[in-house]
A and B are shown apart, each in its own frame.
Chain A
Amino acid sequence: MESVLGNLDLLYVAPVLGLQLLVNGLLVGAIFALVAYGLALVWGVTHIINLAQGDFVILGGMLTYTISSQAGIHPLWALPISAVLLYGLGVVIYRLVIRRVVDRDIFVSILATFGISILLTQLMNQIFGADIQRARHDLGTWGFFDNVVTVEQIKLLAAAITAVLALGLVQFLRRSRVGQAMRATAQNPRAARLMGIDTDWVYETTFAVNAAICGAAGALVVMVWSIEPFSGLIFTIRAFMIVVVAGVGNLAGVVAAGLGLGVMENFAGFILGTEFQIGFVFALLVVILLWRNLRLGRKREVLR
Chain B
Amino acid sequence: MSDTYRRIERLSGSPWAVVALLVVGLALPLVFPSYQTAIAVLWMMVVFALTWDVLGGQMGYNSFGNIVFFGVGMYVAAVVQRELYFDIGQFESISDKFNVHLTSAQYLTGFGLGTLLGMVICGVLALLLGYGILGLRGHYFAICTLGLGVAAGEIAGGIDYIGAGAGMAPPVFPEALGSRGLFFAYFFLALTVASFVLLRWLYGGRFGLAINAIRDDEDKADSMGIPATRYKSTAWCVSAVFLAAAGAGFGHLNGWIEPAEIAFPGATMGVWMVVMAVLGGKGTLWGPVIGAVVFYVSQQTFWVLLLGWQLVALGLLIVVIVVFFPEGIVGWLRARRPATDKGPSP
Interface, chain A (partner B; CB < 8 A): 49, 51, 97, 100-101, 104, 106-108, 110-112, 114-123, 125-126, 230, 233-234, 237, 240, 244, 275-276, 278-279, 282-283, 285-286, 289-290, 293, 297, 302-304
Contact = CB atoms under 8 A, between A and B. Distances in A.
Interface of B: 60, 62, 64, 132-133, 135-140, 142-144, 146-148, 150-151, 154-155, 157-158, 267, 271, 274, 278, 308-309, 311-312, 314-319, 322-324, 326
22 contacts: A49-B139, A49-B143, A51-B146, A97-B319, A100-B323, A104-B326, A108-B322, A110-B139, A114-B318, A115-B318, A118-B271, A119-B312, A123-B315, A234-B150, A237-B143, A237-B150, A240-B143, A279-B154, A279-B158, A286-B147, A289-B133, A290-B135
Contacts of B150: 233-234, 237, 278, 282
Contact of B316 (A119, A275, A278): A119
A126 B142 contact: no
A237 B139 contact: no
Contact of A286 (B133, B139, B158, B324): B133
Nearest to A289: B144
Given A119-B316, A233-B146, A289-B133, 12 more contacts: A100-B323, A106-B139, A115-B317, A118-B267, A120-B315, A122-B315, A123-B312, A237-B150, A244-B140, A282-B147, A285-B143, A293-B135
A282 B143 contact: no
Contacts of B271: 118
Question: DSSP class of B's interface residues: helix, strand, loop or mixed?
Answer: helix
B135 A297 contact: yes
A268 B162 CA distance: 24
Contacts of B315: 115-123
Contacts of B136: 289-290, 293, 302-303
B323 A101 contact: yes
B43 to A, nearest CB: 25
Contact of A118 (B135, B158, B278, B318): B318
- Which of B138, B144, B150, B314: most chain A Cβ within 10 A? B144
A99 to B, nearest CB: 10
B322 A101 contact: yes
Given A286-B151, A293-B135, A297-B135, A112 B323 contact: yes
A54 to B, nearest CB: 11
Contacts of B142: 110
B140 A107 contact: no
B340 to A, nearest CB: 28
A113 B148 CA distance: 18
Contacts of A125: 311
A118 B146 CA distance: 13
A304 B217 CA distance: 13
B147 A115 contact: no
B230 to A, nearest CB: 15
Nearest to B215: A107
Contact of A304 (B137, B151, B317): B137
A283 B315 CA distance: 26
Contact of B274 (A111, A119, A120, A237): A111
Contacts of B139: 49, 106, 110
A206 B142 CA distance: 23
A115 B319 contact: yes
Contact of A112 (B138, B143, B322): B322
A110 B157 CA distance: 28
Nearest to B154: A279
A119 B322 CA distance: 14
B163 to A, nearest CB: 15
Contacts of A297: 135
Nearest to A303: B140
- Which of A49, A240, A278, A282: most chain B Cβ within 10 A? A282
B154 A276 contact: yes
Contacts of A118: 267, 271, 311, 314-315, 318
A237 B147 contact: yes
A106 B311 contact: no
Given A118-B314, A121-B315, A290-B132, A108 B326 contact: yes
